Amino acid sequence: MSKKMRAALRRAGGALLLSTMALGAQAMEDESIYSYTLVEAGGGKVRGQSGSAQSLAIDGWAGGDFNRLWYSLDAERRGGRTESAELHLLYGRYIAPFWDAQVGLRRGERPAGRDYLTLGVRGLAPYAFDVDLKLFVRDDGKVFARTRFENEFLLTNRFIVTPSLGVEWSASDIGATVRRGVYQADLGVQARYEFNRRIAPYLGLSRTFYPRAQSGGEVAATQWRAGLRVLF
């Protein structure tokens, strides 16, 4: 890891420490501290592949109206082995109604352990679109970006359908799959039935594309998934 990247990661760690101190300051100032954690655990199958896949996704925050600590975990196992896992820990600062600017760290454990300095914004766009924009600088200096959009449509008070679109970008060519520009796109839809606001079983279908993959790289895949969604 270069000296510049080590310094950047230290600054990101300092930002997270400051966010923790800010949350403590909020408590001392009698500003209410809230929390939100969404857990989705499920299993499914990739079309054309043998074996099943298990997934775990955690997304949440803790804090007040102006300062928040954001955290997330995404992991997937297939064939008894962990294929992907990444952890995000970010400090978020209010910049506009329904919008936070974020800075922090992303740790990728699979397929290889790498650290990323993370900058981003997250919030609600017009028509209630949930927007998550991230810029990543890896510990070797490589630059990536991720954009994700989703929206919820209430078919009834309990039956909700959520389409989503995620796009991965790279500033340089890295291997047969990760190419400069848009190298991956995920299009999906999830349907859930809320027994109450906190517990809902779901069924999802997604399609992953690799528009610039060369010979030997990843190929497009369709996956279905079913599981349980719990809100804390």
* pLDDT tens-digit readout, 82-119: 888 999 999 999 999 999 999 999 998 776 789 999 99
Q: What's the pLDDT at 20? A: 56
C-alpha to C-alpha distance for 106 and 18, rounded to whole angstroms: 17
Structural contact between residues 151 and 127, judged by C-beta atoms closer than 8 angstroms? yes
Q: What's the pLDDT at 8? A: 47
Question: Which residue, among 231, 150, 226, 151, has the nearest Cα to 195 in the 3D structure?
Answer: 231
- Domains in the chain, please, with CATH? 3-29+37-231 (2.40.160.40)
As a whole number of angstroms, the longest Cα–Cα distance in the chain is 59
C-alpha to C-alpha distance for 136 and 61, rounded to whole angstroms: 20
The pTM assigned to this predicted structure is 0.84
Query: pLDDT (tens digit, 9 = 90+) per residue, 33-87?
Result: 999 999 999 999 988 777 789 999 999 999 998 999 999 999 999 878 888 899 9
Query: pLDDT (tens digit, 9 = 90+) per residue, 158-172?
Result: 999 999 999 999 999
Question: Which residue, among 72, 85, 38, 75, has the nearest Cα to 54 in the 3D structure?
Answer: 75
